[in-house]
Chain A
């Protein structure tokens, strides 16, 4: 059975991407895997900042970091819930996943291990001049992935 993967994350989601992934899964007769990636970068950056230049000790720093991660997880559940409802409406088989870690490594390894046929990714909006200086991780996944990759801009 074919598999369509939709990747959402703390840094970007897109209604258009969700809609496309569900319709594509239905059209291909594929199962839909929705991955919500918890990018820990910001939470750990805040924690590091407090440990390095902040004036408060370990306890409040850890509590703060935990409250950020808890919030990210809740947002993840909400986003996955949205995809699930759309999938159920269209009668598409659905599997939710929530993982934490590096965007590119996680997505590429999931594409490989779950034998994904189409991956739908959301990339951050960048100002046009910035596009010359840095590439988005979604673009890099598209280049390296062994399956078809469809990109949407966040929004």
Chain B
């Protein structure tokens, strides 16, 4: 056994060891300072405590020093302990419909991945339509986006990564040197990011935002309504992304016959399509149709959980399989974020923050929309999109009420851009995967991602200004 001796100076080791406790102490001091200071005029004592909890969660979410779910647990603990909301009410909020919708959607996505249906669909489409370098690139871009309409964009990225990796190896693309290698992995990551905002299923951020919206205002957004509102953004950003990528990295391969061979080989290994794949596909299709047609009357969570029950009744999946495909810890993150948002709203802290901090500049609805969407799109580059929603949405809903804006509109203003993380590997797992291929350097992603961020923010605001009035949506109530 080898023993590695730390040869750094003792003072360096001691400082590094003290950093973490010092950070926690600083956070505790911030919390104590905010609680102990005289209550500002117009703010209730509960509101002051809610702001202190909010500040602590904000610091922990941004620094990521503890897992996101644990920060949410801290919020769940602190809200009743500090007397911001009664204990019973706090835990009742955790049982929000949004949390169960997310749970159901995760389990459905897990079932699709487990039976291999998503991989089969991807391989079939790539094999059939990806016959030239340009076609293959477009297919990977489209496939990543369209699959992210139906399941978590992170799951799509994880599923497609090994396939794209094999394609790049089959074509002999040199990491860091081949433009086509960069294009394939950018198409994978950005396809997932762009497609992930199209429906409720691309990520849990939209259900989370709607959960906070419902708890604080009673309003909600339908499955189909959301997609109709956001789809033009996706339809514009896909060609924009493709155009930008192919201009930045001109295609440098002449044929993809070897990639086609890889796809055919993988598809052969999958064998014939099974009864389970058909059945899970059918359950998923019926679930999506029900979400679109019966979502408002039955509730999205009820439909999602019914579909999960059907999967188990027909023995299409086993609990053990699902357990391995679902990240249970993340459910805590969403439940806690909804509790925190509700605490800020019900204690009056959100409206106080709006009046004191934002009252001067936020005078027109379009400005509120533009500023919050801008904040969301840039904050999401550096932190989890769920944290962005938990931080911005309660405050923006308070502001919307003050300006007689439709709170659903500000929910869009934050929930949609919070998913558009193009710039850093840390922004979203899809980007981290693409960079881990070594075909893309972080600096490539930052450079291109910045342009995509600005472009998508502009396009989103244009969609809100021109498309939404056509479908009966407007900034004001």
Q: Does chain A bind chain B?
A: yes
Chain A residues close to B by CB (< 8 Å): 10-11, 42-43, 45-46, 49-61, 63-64, 67-68, 71, 74-75, 105, 109, 127
User: What are 15 of the A-B contact pairs (CB < 8 Å)?
Assistant: A42-B435, A42-B438, A45-B425, A45-B432, A49-B432, A52-B67, A52-B68, A56-B152, A57-B325, A58-B324, A61-B158, A64-B162, A67-B161, A68-B436, A127-B443
Q: Is A55 within 8 A of B330, CB to CB?
A: yes
Closest 9 CB pairs of A and B: A59-B324, A55-B152, A42-B436, A54-B154, A53-B384, A49-B429, A57-B325, A46-B432, A54-B429
By a CB distance below 8 angstroms, the chain A residues around B384 are 52-53
Q: Which of A43, A68, A109 has the most CB of B within 10 A?
A: A68
B375 within 8 A of A: no
User: Interface size bucket, B side?
Assistant: 35 or more
B203 within 8 A of A: yes
A61–B68 Cα gap in the complex (Å)?
17
Chain B residues close to A by CB (< 8 Å): 4, 64, 67-69, 106, 109-110, 113, 152, 154-155, 158-159, 161-162, 165, 169, 175, 203-204, 323-330, 333, 384-386, 425-426, 428-429, 432-433, 435-438, 443
CB A116 to nearest CB in B, in angstroms, measures 18
A71–B443 Cα gap in the complex (Å)?
22
Name which residue of chain A comes closest to B168, CB basis: A71
Of A10, A52, A64, the residue contacting B433 (CB under 8 A) is A64
Name which residue of chain A comes closest to B114, CB basis: A59
Q: Is A60 within 8 A of B429, CB to CB?
A: no
A49–B154 Cα gap in the complex (Å)?
10
By a CB distance below 8 angstroms, the chain B residues around A10 are 438
A97–B412 Cα gap in the complex (Å)?
54
By a CB distance below 8 angstroms, the chain B residues around A52 are 64, 67-69, 384
CB B284 to nearest CB in A, in angstroms, measures 16
Residues A64 and B161 in contact in the complex (CB < 8 Å), given A53-B386, A53-B429, A54-B154:
yes
Name which residue of chain A comes closest to B387, CB basis: A53
CB B124 to nearest CB in A, in angstroms, measures 20
A55–B68 Cα gap in the complex (Å)?
13
Q: Is A55 within 8 A of B436, CB to CB?
A: no
By a CB distance below 8 angstroms, the chain B residues around A60 are 113, 155, 158-159, 325
Of B328, B330, B429, the residue contacting A46 (CB under 8 A) is B429
Q: Is B165 within 8 A of A71, CB to CB?
A: yes
CB B175 to nearest CB in A, in angstroms, measures 7
Q: Which of A11, A53, A74 has the most CB of B within 10 A?
A: A53
